[in-house]
Amino acid sequence: MVPVHYSGIEGEVILRPVSPVEWPGMVNQRPYEALIGVADGAGRRVAEVRSGPDGRFRIILEPGTYVLHPESDAIYPQAPAQTVTVSRDQFTPVRIIYDSGIR
């Protein structure tokens, strides 16, 4: 029997701030459900993953370098693209932070 190897990316998506006013000790963020596009090193879209209501996601990918493209239907919320390297037999942790635009 050939062993199965899994690798990929797992992470969480956060939206912040959720309030325009923040005081010490306040949690001014929340999990965010979002669609994340995944491109390979050549810039080709190879997959997409949606975070759950808890903000968590997990996607199986071959080892390599990928660029995560957090999507949005408007100017806000927005999050920058992130380059992630996936190693064999490991899930690379990432945290995607969307800026809510609240000021």
Instruction: Please say whether the beta carbons of 36 and 68 come within 8 A.
Output: yes
Average model confidence (pLDDT) for the chain?
Answer: 95
The three-state DSSP-derived secondary structure of the chain is CCCCCCCEEEEEEEEECCCCCCCCCCCCCEECCCEEEEECCCCCEEEEEECCCCCEEEEECCCEEEEEEECCCCCCCECCCEEEEECCCCEEEEEEEEECCCC
Look up the pTM and report it: 0.91
**At residue 89, does pLDDT exceed 70?**
yes
Residue 3 has pLDDT above 70, yes or no: no
Domains identified in the chain and CATH numbers: 8-99 (2.60.40.1120)
- Residue 1 is encoded by which pair of tokens? 């029997």
What's the rounded mean pLDDT across residues 42-64?
97
Three-point CA angle 85, 60, 94, nearest 5°: 45
| Res 58: pLDDT | 98
Count of residues in the chain? 103
Phi, psi of 34 (to 5 degrees): -150, 160
* Contact indicator for 81, 68 with CB cutoff of 8 Å: yes
Q: Which two tokens stand for residue 51?
A: 């975070």
